[in-house]
């Protein structure tokens, strides 16, 4: 029986940071659809090139591109114990697809990280990511030890193109319209728990550990 976590929440609620901590803690593979797309973009694959114009505008990438990437990742042996999903599903149709991939006996818990827009805009505009390993920093709350450089690999810290305020606002609109309906979808299945996304990482993780007792 696999143990799976779906991290749901608006951009900037901490899905990536929380996801990598939980992945370390529980030894489950973290699958970030945004990271998969950015990897494809970096490598210049056809899917990456097709996805770019949507990502630059803060829109969702068409399902066929994202679903193929996620399904491939989920078929890897590393997922044998389960996965932590960050940023997928983002639409009801992606959720239906994921339901078909999970086995009926698999455990699935959804953690909805909740935070308000002003908090999210602030967090995202001060976010920096390592260009080589993807580790996430915040200029005020989680700064690197050496300015501009990743603590883990020494890579260069950059601002994502879509972390500019006008694109952040669009991403939040898209979230509200297309992704927020998933809250009710998973609440109806009685697998959703709500956790504040604006607290300290340590507190968020402790809260999740209280809810998911693995």
Contact (Cβ atoms closer than 8 angstroms) between residue 144 and residue 157: yes
Q: Is 54 in the site for ligand AMP (CB under 6 A)?
A: yes
Q: Which residue is nearest to ligand AMP (CB)?
A: 34
Q: Active-site residue among 160, 169, 170, 187?
A: 160
> Is there binding between residue 34 and ligand AMP (CB under 6 A)?
yes
CA neighbor of 97 nearest in space, from 65, 63, 136, 62:
63
Instruction: Determine the Cα–Cα distance for residues 110 and 162; give it in Å rounded to an integer.
Output: 26
Q: Is 33 in the site for ligand AMP (CB under 6 A)?
A: yes
- The C-alpha atoms of residue 85 and residue 154 are separated, in whole angstroms, by 27
Query: Least Å distance between CB 107 and ligand AMP?
Result: 21
Nearer to ligand AMP, 95 or 208 (CB): 95
C-alpha span between 213 and 211 (Å, rounded): 6
Q: Distance of CA 97 to CAs 67, 90, 117, Å?
A: 8, 11, 29
Task: Kindly tell me the burial class for residue 208, based on how many C-beta atoms sit within 10 Å of its own C-beta (0-12, 13-18, 19 or more).
Answer: buried
Nearest-angstrom CA–CA distance, 91 and 4: 18
Shortest Å, Cβ 213 to ligand AMP:
27
Binding mask of the shown chain, residues 58 to 97, with x at each position contacting ligand AMP by CB under 6 A: xxxx----x--------------------xx-x---x---
From 21, 123, 127, 135, active-site residue: 127
Q: How far is the CB of 214 from ligand AMP (least distance, A)?
A: 24
* 92/89 Cα distance (integer angstroms): 8
Residues that contact ligand AMP, how many (by CB under 6 A) = 17
The residue (of 28 and 55) whose beta carbon lies closer to ligand AMP is 55
Residue positions annotated with a catalytic role: 15, 90, 127, 160, 171
* Residues at the interface with ligand AMP (CB under 6 A): 11, 33-34, 37, 54-55, 58-61, 66, 87-88, 90, 94, 162, 171
């Amino acid at each position: 029986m696999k143990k799976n976590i779906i991290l749901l929440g608006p951009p900037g609620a901490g899905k990536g940071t929380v996801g990598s901590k939980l992945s370390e803690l529980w030894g489950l593979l973290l699958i970030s659809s945004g990271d998969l797309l950015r990897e494809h973009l970096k490598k210049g694959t056809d899917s990456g090139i097709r996805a770019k114009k949507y990502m630059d505008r803060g829109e969702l990438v068409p399902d066929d591109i994202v679903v193929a990437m996620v399904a491939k990742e989920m078929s890897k042996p590393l997922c044998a114990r389960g996965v932590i999903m960050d940023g997928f599903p983002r639409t009801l149709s992606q959720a239906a697809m994921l339901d078909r991939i999970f086995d009926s006996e698999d455990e699935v818990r959804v953690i909805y990280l909740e935070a308000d827009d002003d908090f999210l805009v602030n967090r995202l505009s001060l976010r920096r990511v390592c260009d080589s390993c993807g580790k996430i920093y915040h200029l005020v709350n989680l700064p690197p030890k050496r300015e501009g450089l990743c603590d883990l690999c020494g890579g260069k810290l950059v601002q994502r193109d879509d972390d500019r305020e006008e694109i952040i606002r669009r991403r939040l609109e898209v979230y509200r319209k297309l992704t927020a309906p998933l809250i009710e979808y998973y609440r109806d299945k009685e697998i959703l728990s709500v956790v504040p996304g604006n607290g300290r990482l340590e507190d968020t993780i402790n809260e999740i550990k209280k809810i998911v007792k693995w």
